[in-house]
Amino acid sequence: MAIDKMHVENFKTLQIAFTNGDVALAESRRKSDGAKIAVICMVSTDDSGDAILVPVAQMFERNPYDEFIEPHKVDEFDKIRNSNLN
């Protein structure tokens, strides 16, 4: 699976923001259920100099190893899953 170009471009922008120190960890609320969550935000300023936080990523709420296949094992997982479907 190829990573979408938009995600690659957003990641590059995030790398620049980290390099420049224009990143913050903030508390927000998920619209779907109102739960408090931690989000990574890029920080910019408006014309009056006030900070604008733009959320770009959500922190995992649980252990990611319990929720996701490790990226370097995805192909192996797909092969096993596909062989079980046949």
Please tell me the predicted confidence (pLDDT) of residue 66.
84
Looking at every residue in the chain, the average pLDDT score rounds to: 87
Cross-strand bridge partners of residue 53: 43
pTM to 2 decimal places? 0.71
Do 2 and 23 contact (CB within 8 A), yes or no? Answer: no
The whole-number average pLDDT for the span 4-24 is 93
Is residue 67 helix, strand or coil? helix
Going by C-alpha positions, the residue among 60, 63, 43, 62 that lies closest to residue 52 is 43
Cross-strand bridge partners of residue 74: none
Cross-strand bridge partners of residue 51: 45
Residue 1's pLDDT band (boundaries 50, 70, 90)? Answer: low
